Amino acid sequence: MSTIRLHHVQVSCPPGGEDAARAFWAGALGLTEVDKPEPLRGRGGAWFRAHDDAGRTTAEVHVGVEDPHAPARKAHPALLVDDEAALDAVAARVRAVGCEVDDAERHTFPGYLRLHLRDPFGNRIEVLAPSPG
């Protein structure tokens, strides 16, 4: 049996939401925007990647345009950061761009600390860090 790996997740934005997506995914979360393939550019949206210290892609998020837009209120991507300090830094950056951070479930997932975010379009995103100790 071959190995299955996750290539990307997609969330949506309304038409014209690309700049807000860039402010959130690149600005607040620190992912790098990458060019969409030429045949897909006409659809709008934006693609973002995270990389490890060796330059390998560790996460990829595609923000696609959806009209009418309906945010994912329950379904969500979950991103993993290195530690609690990184988790708190993400929360601070997300709050700084005016997006919602909910850490009510911070201690509800054994082995991890976590929080939930809402991007500028209302999509739910989870961010986890290994729990110390």
Per residue in 63-87, pLDDT (tens digit) is: 999 999 999 989 999 999 999 999 9
Model confidence, pTM: 0.93
CB 126 within 8 A of CB 118: no
What is the pLDDT at residue 59?
Answer: 96
Q: Contact, 120 vs 99, CB < 8 A?
A: yes
CA 133/CA 121 separation, integer angstroms = 36
Asked if residue 25 lies in contact with residue 49, where contact means CB atoms within 8 angstroms, the answer is no
CATH topology of domain 9-130: 2,3-Dihydroxybiphenyl 1,2-Dioxygenase; domain 1 (3.10.180)
- In this prediction, residue 2 has a pLDDT band, given cuts at 50, 70 and 90, of confident
Do residues 48 and 63 lie in contact, with contact meaning Cβ atoms separated by under 8 Å?
A: yes
Residues 11-20: pLDDT tens digits? Answer: 999 999 999 9
pLDDT of 60 > 80? The answer is yes
* Cβ atoms < 10 Å from Cβ of 41: 10
What is d(CA 4, CA 18) in angstroms, rounded to the nearest whole number? 30
pLDDT classification of 132: cutoffs 50, 70, 90: confident
